[in-house]
Structure formats: C-alpha cells, structure tokens
Amino acid sequence: MGNLVFLDSPLSGAADAFVPTARTWVKLRERVSDYSSDEALLLCEEADGKWLLWVPDFGVATLGREQLCRRD
C-alpha cells in the first residue's frame, strides 16, 4: 500500500503546504451553525493563533487553525 499524504491534516509532514492567509477562502471542518456555509473568508490571525473569519449565513466567528481546510 502506498504512502498517503493528507495536506490539511495537523499531524501530516505536509501540513505546511496549507498556510492560511488573510483574505482567502477556506473550508470549515464543521459548520459553525446548522444554517451557515461550510466555507469562510479569513479576515486576520489573532495573537493566540486563532483566526477571525466571516462565514456566510452566520457572520463573524473565531476558529482555530485545526478547524480550517484548504478550499479546492
């Protein structure tokens, strides 16, 4: 069986391939509400490594890096 690489996995050696930056869209691992989008626009990184982001059909939220995935 070949080696599998998950680019957005926090434990993967390739995790550095996804570097969140402000003003980019990302996928959310879990929706912030039942009615919100599963994507968000990154606004800025906060001092503790969390991200302030805007989620359509929800508004502004703060999530940790581990809750974000690269948007394909």
Q: Greater confidence, 33 or 7?
A: 33
Portion of the chain with pLDDT greater than 70, in percent: 76
Can you give the pTM of this predicted structure? 0.74
71: number of Cβ within 10 Å: 13
The residues pairing with 59 across neighbouring beta strands, listed in sequence order, are: 55
Taking the C-alpha atoms of residue 72 and residue 45, their distance in angstroms, rounded to an integer, is 21
- All structural domains of the chain: 20-70 (2.30.30)
Segment 26-41 mean pLDDT? 97
Residue 41: is its pLDDT beyond 90? Answer: yes
